[in-house]
């Protein structure tokens, strides 16, 4: 990675955990149960086309293609420099998350620890992040390098023509009353937190799916859960806000009450056990 005449040897690390979503394979259900293979079929000739008979083409007009050889495809590819060339520094808040794509951790390679730490500290102090060009795998990427903790993260960005403008979303002009806004703000305050805590959240659907799959592996049948009864629709916005506030307040009160009662129950259990033990000891002494 380079900025000005400073060059920093770095390594890229994936930010993704290996835990992937639950996926299923296609099997021969009416026969041996083997996993199926994908094949390509020409709809005109109605025959299977093998890999060595395939060519890549670009559709320049409806139904019209220009084809390319392997050498021509290589000539079209961007030369991979494997270098991150910083072009400018901007405040991070000026880059909309709409442009965010994949992210990678950056770590210093051999001999680059000091320059790496210097750049990370300088960006933290300045409050700015770096925009850079990065060429790899035959493509050129727009990336943002930003400080994260003591290190740096390379955030791959979408190009401007890859992001649809908000103007394409049809939005009606509507007026919001002060009373409605006040209730909405109160509802936000009820469930507001000072920071994002990702550990509080987990993929409940994935967890439930894996549990059901394990039941199936153990030879048990799985049955779909009954559909929830549809909730009554609240047409009036003010009534919906009031009902939401009342519901959140009741839930918070119940949670607080449950937490307050838990220690009492915990104290009672050891006390009863002690009384039982003491009583038993008394009877034994008496009998003796």
pLDDT digits (tens, 9 = 90+) for 148-162: 999 999 999 999 999
Strand partners, 152: 106, 147
Rounded average pLDDT over 21-50 = 88
CA–CA distance, 90 with 127 (Å, rounded to integer):
8
- 90 plus 154 within the same structural domain: yes
- 110 plus 10 within the same structural domain: yes
pLDDT digits (tens, 9 = 90+) for 107-152: 999 999 999 999 999 999 999 999 999 888 778 899 999 999 999 9
DSSP state letters, 80-140: ----EEEEEEEEGGGS-GGGEEEEEEEEE-TT-HHHHHHHHHHHHHHTEEEEEEEEETTEE
**Ramachandran area for residue 272 (φ above 0: left; ψ -120 to 50: alpha; else beta):** alpha
Q: How far does the chain reach from its first CA to its final CA, in angstroms?
A: 85
- The mean pLDDT value of the chain amounts to 82
CA–CA distance, 11 with 13 (Å, rounded to integer):
7
Asked if residues 135 and 152 have their Cβ atoms less than 8 Å apart, the reply is no
Residue 225 has pLDDT above 60, yes or no: yes
pLDDT digits (tens, 9 = 90+) for 157-176: 999 999 999 999 998 888 88
- 13 plus 141 within the same structural domain: yes
- 183 plus 254 within the same structural domain: yes
Asked if residues 10 and 106 have their Cβ atoms less than 8 Å apart, the reply is yes
Q: Is residue 223 part of a domain?
A: no
Q: Looking at residue 141, what DSSP letter applies?
A: E
Query: b/e per residue, 210-239, with b = 16+ CB within 10 A?
Result: eebeeeeeeeeeeeeeeeeeeeeeeeeeee
Helix-helix angle 178-190:237-287, to 10 degrees: 20
- 8 plus 113 within the same structural domain: yes
What is the C-alpha radius of gyration for the chain, rounded to an integer number of angstroms? Answer: 31
Q: Is residue 49 part of a domain?
A: no
Tally of CB atoms within 10 A around 241: 19
Asked if residues 144 and 154 have their Cβ atoms less than 8 Å apart, the reply is yes
Residue 193 has pLDDT above 50, yes or no: yes
- 111 plus 13 within the same structural domain: yes
254: domain range? Answer: 177-189+237-272
Q: Is residue 57 part of a domain?
A: no
Rounded average pLDDT over 24-32 = 86
CA–CA distance, 79 with 188 (Å, rounded to integer):
50
How many structural domains is the chain composed of? 2
């Amino acid at each position: 990675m380079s900025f000005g005449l400073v060059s920093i040897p770095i390594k890229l690390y994936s930010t993704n955990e290996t835990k992937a979503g639950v996926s299923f394979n296609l099997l021969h259900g009416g026969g041996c149960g083997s996993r199926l293979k994908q094949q390509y079929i020409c709809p005109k000739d109605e025959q299977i086309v093998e890999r060595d008979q395939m060519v890549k083409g670009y559709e320049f007009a409806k139904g019209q293609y220009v084809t390319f050889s392997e050498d021509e495809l290589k000539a079209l590819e961007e030369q991979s420099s494997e270098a991150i060339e910083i072009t400018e520094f901007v405040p991070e808040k000026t880059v909309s998350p709409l442009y965010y794509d994949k992210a990678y951790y950056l770590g210093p390679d051999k001999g680059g620890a000091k320059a790496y730490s210097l750049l990370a500290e300088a960006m933290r102090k300045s409050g700015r992040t770096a925009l850079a060009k990065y060429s790899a795998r035959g493509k050129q990427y727009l990336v943002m390098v930003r400080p994260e903790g003591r290190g740096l993260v390379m955030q791959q960005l979408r190009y401007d023509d890859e992001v649809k403008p908000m103007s394409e979303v049809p939005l009606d002009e509507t007026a919001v009353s002060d009373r409605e806004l006040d209730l909405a703000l109160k509802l936000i305050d009820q469930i507001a937190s000072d920071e994002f805590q990702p550990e509080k959240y987990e993929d409940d659907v994935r967890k439930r799916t894996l549990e059901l799959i394990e039941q199936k592996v153990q030879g048990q049948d799985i049955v779909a859960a009954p559909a929830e009864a549809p909730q009554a629709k609240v047409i009036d916005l003010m009534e919906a806000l009031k009902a939401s506030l009342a519901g959140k307040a009741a839930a918070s009160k119940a949670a607080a009450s449950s937490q307050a009662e838990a220690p009492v129950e915990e104290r009672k259990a050891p006390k009863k056990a002690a009384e039982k033990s003491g009583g038993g000891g008394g009877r034994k002494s008496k009998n003796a």
